[in-house]
C-alpha cells in the first residue's frame, strides 16, 4: 500500500505540534506555585480540605 507524500508530512507536523503543546502545558504547570499543585492533587483524590471545612 502506497502512502501519499502529504500524509507523511501531515504526520510529522502533527507530531511536532503535539510535542510543542505538551512542552507548553508542562512548562505552564511547573511555573504555577506548588500550593496549586497540592490542592489539585488532593481534590483529584477526593481529599478536599475546602469541602471538609465547609461540612463542619
Q: pLDDT per residue over 10-21, tens digit each?
A: 888 888 888 888
Assign 6 a pLDDT band (cuts: 50, 70, 90): confident
Residue 43 burial (CB count, 10 A): 13
Q: pLDDT per residue over 7-55, tens digit each?
A: 888 888 888 888 888 888 888 877 776 665 556 666 665 665 554 444 4
% of the chain residues with pLDDT over 90 = 0
Residue 56 has pLDDT above 50, yes or no: no
Q: How many domains does the chain fold into?
A: 1
pTM: 0.40
Domain region containing 38: 5-55
Among residues 47, 29, 31, 27, which one has the least CA distance to residue 39?
47
Amino acid at each position: 500500500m502506497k502512502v501519499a507524500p502529504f500524509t507523511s508530512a501531515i504526520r510529522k507536523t502533527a507530531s511536532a505540534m503535539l510535542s510543542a503543546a505538551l512542552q507548553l502545558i508542562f512548562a505552564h504547570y511547573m511555573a504555577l506555585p506548588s500550593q496549586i499543585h497540592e490542592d489539585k492533587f488532593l481534590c483529584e483524590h477526593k481529599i478536599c480540605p475546602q469541602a471538609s471545612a465547609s461540612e463542619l
